[in-house]
Each structure stands twice: as C-alpha cells, then as structure tokens.
Amino acid sequence: MKIAEKLFNLALEARKRSYSPYSKFKVGAAIYADDEKFYSSCNVENVSYPCGTCAETGAISSMIAGGGKKIKEILVVADSENIISPCGGCRQRIMEFSDKNTYVHLAGLDGIKKTMKAHELLPLAFDEEELRND
C-alpha cells in the first residue's frame, strides 16, 4: 500500500474517534515519520474551549512519544467543502518537525485534495535562526 493511502486510512480511523462535542467538526491526522513508523490522532476538545487540541498536535505528540523525530509526510482529513486548512498554530508545530522535503496532504472524506510541501503551508516561518540575536 502506498504511504499516502495508508496515511489516509489511519487519519480517517482516528477521525472517527474525534472528541468534538462542541464544534462537531471531526478531524484526523496521520504522520509517516523518519523512523518509518506511522502515528495518528484526532482533535480532542474541552468544555474550556482553549484547552482543546487539534488532530495535528496530537499526531505530533504521538510521533515524539513513539520515537519519531521528523515528519516525512503528514495527512489531515476532515469533512470540509473546501480543503481542510491547518490552523496557524499547527502550521508552526508541523514546521518544527519538518524539513524541506516534508509533504503535507490535505484530504476530504473521499481522498486527498491537495499535496504541498510544509514550507509552502507556512512561508516565512519563525525558526531557530531568528533566535540568534548576536
């Protein structure tokens, strides 16, 4: 099975388990990491709204806890008329674990709608270079 296909199936499975009673917007995400393992998660909301977490954030935590260090490919799926557009915070989180070859797939329930490089999703990202102030 192709990596993108496997990511789609895993993200769709995770999405089914989404805990989103407030927005009713279910999101799933899956990562293929540099350790050649797959990680996935869904969005988990909270009655205190800002405490909720996005699917991408959960998938990144799962990757780090599982031993992955870099995202080779990440797929996000939602039932969205337009493409699901990762929030600004998640774009920054994705960039932290991406390199110039990292792919981001944006999918609807019927499959991948758009594929791009992570740096195309967040041009001019704030990165480590910016912390050097001398």
Task: Give me the active site residues, please.
Answer: 56
Residue 52 sits in the site that holds ligand THU (CB under 6 A): yes
Instruction: Please give the structure tokens belonging to residue 27.
Output: 């999101």
Q: Interacting stretch for ligand THU, rule CB under 6 A, among 52-60, 96-104, 105-113, 125-133?
A: 52-60
Instruction: Please give the structure tokens belonging to residue 14.
Output: 């995770």
Residues 84-103 contacting ligand THU, CB under 6 A = 84, 86-87, 90
Contact indicator for 63, 75 with CB cutoff of 8 Å: no
User: At closest approach, how far in Å is the CB of 86 from ligand THU?
Assistant: 4
Q: Which residues of 5-40 are buried (b: 16+ CB within 10 A; e: fewer)?
A: eebbbbbbebbeebebeeeeebbbbbbbbeeeebbb
Q: Give the binding site for ligand THU (CB under 6 A).
A: 20, 23, 25, 27, 43, 45, 52, 54-56, 76, 84, 86-87, 90
